[in-house]
Amino acid sequence: MGASAAVAQVAQWGRPTETVIKLLLLDYTLWWWHWLNHHTILWEFHRAHHLDPDLDVSTGIRFHPSEMALASFFRAAQVRVLRVDEETLLLWQRMLLVSILFHHSNLRLPEKLDRALANVIATPRMHGIHHSDRWEETNSNYASLFSWWDWIHGTMRLERPQAEITIGAPDA
């Protein structure tokens, strides 16, 4: 195998690896953005998302206009700092939208299935707990796509059944 063939082969392997790394970094930095929205002055805007008393797919796209504007600047910074190419960004945004609509849905999956899925992705029950009217639960389960970040940071909460959760903002 010549040098140029070897370089081409490594480049073919490198592209998927780079894409996966950037997908993970986009999702991880979004976890931090969500955390900041709960622990800083940004809560004043993000709170609007938590006020909906009926968690369903429409909640997943309902945000304060100021939060959306600030999130646009954050997304631009993510793309620039992480040097994310257009294909990777589109792939992540598609995955993210499906995940957001799924975990904001009012689906009631069997608890065993929900717990198994919550080891990898944000689930309706996991995110339903995040939308609790209790601070300790609202300030947990920040994941938007991959749930690993909550496991890593110790912010995963799955203790209470969804039927016991009152949806809403803690200070509402």
- Are 101 and 57 in contact by the 8 Å Cβ rule? The answer is yes
Q: Which residue has the tokens 């999130």?
A: 71
pLDDT score recorded for residue 1:
55
Output the average pLDDT for the chain.
90
Residues found in the chain: 172
- Per-residue pLDDT, averaged over 124-130, amounts to 93
Q: What is the CA radius of gyration of the chain?
A: 18
pLDDT score recorded for residue 171:
75
- Are 64 and 43 in contact by the 8 Å Cβ rule? The answer is no
pLDDT over 70, % of the chain? 91
Domain boundaries, the chain: 7-164
pLDDT score recorded for residue 16:
86
- Indicate the pLDDT class of residue 3, thresholds 50, 70 and 90: low
- The phi and psi torsions of 94 (rounded to 5 degrees) equal -65, -45
